[in-house]
């Protein structure tokens, strides 16, 4: 009896959590009253069926497609480069021994915990001095070195078997080969988790684009949707659904790795 109650409660909670997502999807196919600059649903109960939002967004405002591909480009390249930089760094943290390693790692943790608004200014100054503002690189470069993935990968590596290195050293002297052939396969779960998590984070990026970029043609879709300049409510809803789909795909592919990988996020 008690179990049934618990199950009921949990299901209710789950429904509550899924409600915003489901409402967005359902209403994107519904009819919205035309009132610009409001961006609220006319009623919570959907009325009628229409594809007007999708049509208007994708055909009439087809330039939004460019922003969509910008988002794909930014999130994809940031995530891939970030992992390419972080895996060696994490490997070094778990293998190398040097003075101040703990301190350095603590610095990474600290940086990871910093709110974006704090790192935004140093990043901005760095970019300005390198004259990279208002280019795609402005979005990509600082984020590539974001320390979260180094932290997670290092912590995950602590739980791995360490004895293989000496055996591998007999065969090859190249650190890179050891890393690629021995470590990366073992890290697979964690790398996938990092991939999903970091991709979702930068897919959702808003402030960087607002501050580093001026040209509308370079901006990602997220900011455009949220502010919704020149778009109607139904278009914003349709855009929201389109914007969500890549994340849904990633989650469907890697949901188990994501959970297992993130579990190693501890101090």
The token duo for 93 is: 């943290």
Report the site for other proteins in 90-119 (rule: CB under 8 A): 91-93, 95-98, 106, 109-111, 113-119
The SS3 assignment for 58 reads: helix
CA of residue 96 relative to chain centroid, distance: 30
* Inter-residue contact 50 to 29 (CB < 8 Å): yes
Q: How far is residue 33's CA from residue 53's CA, in Å, rounded to a whole number? A: 11
Region 6-25 residues binding other proteins, contact defined as CB under 8 A: 6-7, 9-11, 13-15, 17-21, 23-24
Return the SS3 of 214: coil
What SS3 state is found at 159? Answer: coil
CA dist., res. 178 & res. 183, Å (int): 7
A 10 A CB-CB count for 85 gives 15
Interactions with other proteins, residue window 139-168 (CB under 8 A): 141-142, 144-145, 147, 150, 165-166
Least spacing, CB of residue 147 vs other proteins, in Å: 7
Q: Are 169 and 230 in contact (CB under 8 A)?
A: no
Angle at 214 between CA 208 and CA 218, to 5 degrees: 75
* Mask for 194-223, x = binds other proteins (CB under 8 A): --xx--x--xx-xx---x---xxxx--xxx
Question: Judged by CB under 8 A, does residue 259 bind other proteins?
Answer: yes
Which 39-68 residues touch other proteins, going by CB under 8 A? 39-41, 44, 58-60, 62-63, 65-66, 68
85 belongs to the binding site for other proteins (CB under 8 A): yes
**What residues between 220 and 249 interact with other proteins by CB under 8 A?**
221-223, 225-228, 233, 236-237, 240-249
Using the minimum distance from each CB to other proteins, give the nearer residue, 161 or 246: 246
Span from 33-41, 156-164, 184-192 in contact with other proteins (CB under 8 A): 33-41
CB of 230 to other proteins, least distance (A): 13
* Least distance in angstroms from the C-beta of 49 to other proteins: 18
Q: What number of other Cβ atoms are within 10 A of residue 156's Cβ?
A: 24
Query: CB of 250: closest distance to other proteins in angstroms?
Result: 7
């Amino acid at each position: 009896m008690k179990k049934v109650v618990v199950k009921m409660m949990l299901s209710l909670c789950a429904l509550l959590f899924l409600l915003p997502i489901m409402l967005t999807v359902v209403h994107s196919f519904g009819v919205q009253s035309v009132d610009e600059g409001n961006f609220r649903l006319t009623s919570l109960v959907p009325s009628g069926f229409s594809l007007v939002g999708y049509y208007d967004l994708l055909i009439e405002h087809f330039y939004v497609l460019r922003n969509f591909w910008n988002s794909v480009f930014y999130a994809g390249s940031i995530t891939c480069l970030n992992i390419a930089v972080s895996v060696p760094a994490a490997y070094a943290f778990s293998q190398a021994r040097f003075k101040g390693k703990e301190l350095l790692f603590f610095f990474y943790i600290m940086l990871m915990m910093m709110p974006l608004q704090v790192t935004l200014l140093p990043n901005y100054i760095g970019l300005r001095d390198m004259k990279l503002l208002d280019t795609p690189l402005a979005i990509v470069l600082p984020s590539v070195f974001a320390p979260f993935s180094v932290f997670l990968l290092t912590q995950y590596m602590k739980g791995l078997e360490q004895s293989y290195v000496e055996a591998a050293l007999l065969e090859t002297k190249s650190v890179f080969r050891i890393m690629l052939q021995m470590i990366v396969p073992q890290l697979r779960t964690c790398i996938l988790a990092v991939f999903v998590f970091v991709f979702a984070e930068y897919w959702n990026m808003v402030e960087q684009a607002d501050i580093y970029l001026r040209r509308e043609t370079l901006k990602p879709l997220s900011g455009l949707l949220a502010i919704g300049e020149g778009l109607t409510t139904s278009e914003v809803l349709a855009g929201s659904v389109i914007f969500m789909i890549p994340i849904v795909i990633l989650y469907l592919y890697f949901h188990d790795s994501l959970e297992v990988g993130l579990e190693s996020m501890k101090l």
